[in-house]
Amino acid sequence: MTAMLEKAANGTARVVRIVGQMAAWLGLALVLLVAFNVLSRYALGISSVATQEAEWHLMAAGALLGMSYGLNQGGEVRVDVLYDKFSPELKATIDIIAAAMLMLASIFIVWLSISYVNQSYSIGEISPDPGGLRYRFLLKALIPIAFVLLALQALSMMLESIVRRVHLKQPLANPDKH
């Protein structure tokens, strides 16, 4: 049973890791785009609304797709004032509850954002600025995708915590050997 849970946890974490590693390249694209915009504006006197909007589109995509990866890699901030003093069993139980709550919140945000994306798509939303980017619904579509990834990462963390909690309850096979 625990082997199956571990396999499922590893599989969902792997999906998040792959997407996160691909999303990390958005950071390089953003740096290059900003450099291009600055050089073209000050060296050539050329400026484009579309490339300026592309900067925040890349930053938003990187943040949305990177949040689950940050959690996957342990980059979250934890306030462990009390947590460090808890027993391993209580820590695992708290981790299970916290991951379940994160997963439920993420699924709720996915549910809420679907109509938001559909509305943007149905009206063919574009930038309100002349020369701005078209197809704004593509950026908005990253919201449910990002929160599906966050829900997957929360599921992975919950399964890992369940496995840890189960192992804490099981006595050692032969305590004299350890």
pLDDT, mean of residues 119-136? 85
> What is the percent of the chain where pLDDT is above 90?
42
Look at residue 75 in the predicted model and tell me its pLDDT.
Answer: 72
The answer to whether residue 12 scores a pLDDT higher than 80 is yes
DSSP-derived secondary structure for the chain: -HHHHHHHHHHHHHHHHHHHHHHHHHHHHHHHHHHHHHHHHHHS----HHHHHHHHHHHHHHHHHHHHHHHHTT-S----TTGGGS-HHHHHHHHHHHHHHHHHHHHHHHHHHHHHHHHHHHTT---SSTT--S-HHHHHTHHHHHHHHHHHHHHHHHHHHHHHHHHHHSPPS-GGG-
The answer to whether residue 14 scores a pLDDT higher than 50 is yes
- pLDDT band for position 178 (50/70/90)? very low
Look at residue 171 in the predicted model and tell me its pLDDT.
Answer: 55
Segment 65-116, tens digit of pLDDT:
999 988 888 777 777 788 888 888 898 999 999 999 999 999 999 999 999 9
Cα(65)–Cα(19) distance, rounded to whole angstroms? 7
Look at residue 174 in the predicted model and tell me its pLDDT.
Answer: 52
pLDDT, mean of residues 125-150? 88
Segment 18-56, tens digit of pLDDT:
888 888 899 999 999 999 999 998 988 888 888 888 999
